[in-house]
């Protein structure tokens, strides 16, 4: 009986020891799992923090890029505005220079013959009295005046001169056309003889077309018998004032 009791006690102690060992092992395993979980959570938190930091860096980089692009766009806009202002100023200066040149040419021509400032150009009128009657022959006075006109024109190499001949309505249209062309040619040839370049001057007769006065009076017919020098070119710009101006020789 003693032996049986002793064996039972030993068995009980062994079971208890085994249970304690199993409990200790289970506790150790639980602690290991908890530690692994904590480590995983810490790694996850660290990764999340790193991701957030990277996102902030990316956002900062994108903001810096956007700011740089905005500054570049603003700089380009300011540069374009400055260039536009410079171009406008240069255009205004060029226009002012053309107007000054046109005004100076108008003054110079008006000192020789009646000159008008019109949209088609500066119009110098050579009256009928400067030609022989029913002839394209220039009188001495007209040659002297045209020589002075040529001297003025030579100071403006970029201009063009159109010589337009006109008559009154007396006589046949064919005769008037021929006389107007001959008179225009006479003026052209004389100006060319005074060194006006042939490439910058043309002549055309219009006969009795484009009258400037009624052909019903002697005074009106005399005004219509004329040769006009139409002086134009980019270098002298456009008409100085609305409706043009008119000057007479002094």
pLDDT tens digit sequence for 107-154:
999 999 999 999 999 999 998 878 887 899 999 999 999 999 999 999
Give pLDDT, residue 247. 52
Kindly tell me if the per-residue pLDDT of 244 is higher than 80: no
Spell out a b/e string for 85-104, using b for 16 or more CB atoms within 10 Å of the CB, else e: eeeeeeeeeeeeebeebbee
Tokens of 158: 């970029």
pLDDT tens for 36-57 read 999 999 999 999 999 999 999 9
Confidence of residue 79 (pLDDT cuts 50, 70, 90): very high
Confidence of residue 242 (pLDDT cuts 50, 70, 90): very low
Instruction: Say how many Å lie between the first and final Cα of the chain, rounded.
Output: 165
Please say whether the beta carbons of 164 and 184 come within 8 A. yes
Give pLDDT, residue 243. 41
CATH assignment, 111-247 = 3.30.1330.60
Separation between Cα atoms, residue 212 and residue 118, nearest integer Å:
14
Mean pLDDT lowest among 9-13, 181-185, 222-226: 9-13
Q: How does the average pLDDT of the chain come out, rounded?
A: 91
Burial of 122 (0-12, 13-18, 19+ CB in 10 A): buried
| Secondary structure class of 164 (helix, strand, coil) | strand
Separation between Cα atoms, residue 179 and residue 169, nearest integer Å:
12
Kindly tell me if the per-residue pLDDT of 10 is higher than 90: no
Task: Please give the C-alpha separations between residue 126 and each of 2, 28, 45, 218, 219, in angstroms, as whole numbers.
Answer: 164, 126, 102, 17, 15
Query: For residue 165, what are the contacts with CB-CB under 8 A and spacing of at least 6?
Result: 179, 180, 181, 182, 183, 184, 187, 203, 204, 205, 206, 227
Confidence of residue 6 (pLDDT cuts 50, 70, 90): confident
| Secondary structure class of 238 (helix, strand, coil) | coil
Q: Which residue in the block uniquely carries the two structure tokens 């190499």?
A: 157
Separation between Cα atoms, residue 218 and residue 126, nearest integer Å:
17
């Amino acid at each position: 009986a003693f032996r049986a009791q002793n064996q039972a006690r030993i068995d009980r102690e062994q079971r208890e020891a085994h249970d304690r060992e199993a409990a200790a092992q289970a506790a150790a395993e639980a602690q290991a799992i908890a530690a692994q979980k904590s480590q995983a959570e810490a790694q996850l938190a660290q990764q999340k923090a790193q991701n957030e930091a990277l996102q902030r860096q990316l956002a900062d980089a994108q903001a810096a890029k956007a700011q740089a692009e905005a500054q570049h766009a603003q700089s380009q806009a300011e540069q374009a505005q400055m260039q536009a202002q410079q171009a406008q100023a240069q255009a205004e200066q060029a226009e002012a220079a053309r107007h000054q040149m046109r005004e100076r040419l108008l003054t110079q021509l008006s000192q020789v013959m009646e000159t008008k400032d019109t949209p088609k150009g500066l119009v110098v009128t050579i009256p009928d009295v400067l030609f022989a009657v029913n002839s394209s022959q220039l009188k001495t006075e007209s040659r002297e005046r045209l020589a002075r006109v040529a001297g003025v024109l030579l100071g403006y190499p970029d201009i063009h001169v159109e010589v337009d001949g006109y008559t009154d309505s007396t006589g046949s249209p064919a005769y008037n056309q021929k006389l107007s062309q001959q008179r225009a040619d006479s003026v052209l040839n004389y100006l060319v003889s005074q060194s006006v370049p042939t490439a910058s001057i043309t002549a055309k007769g219009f006969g009795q077309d484009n009258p400037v006065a009624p052909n019903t009076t002697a005074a009106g017919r005399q005004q219509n018998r004329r040769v006009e020098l139409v002086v134009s070119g980019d270098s002298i710009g456009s008409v100085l004032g609305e409706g043009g101006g008119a000057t007479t020789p002094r």
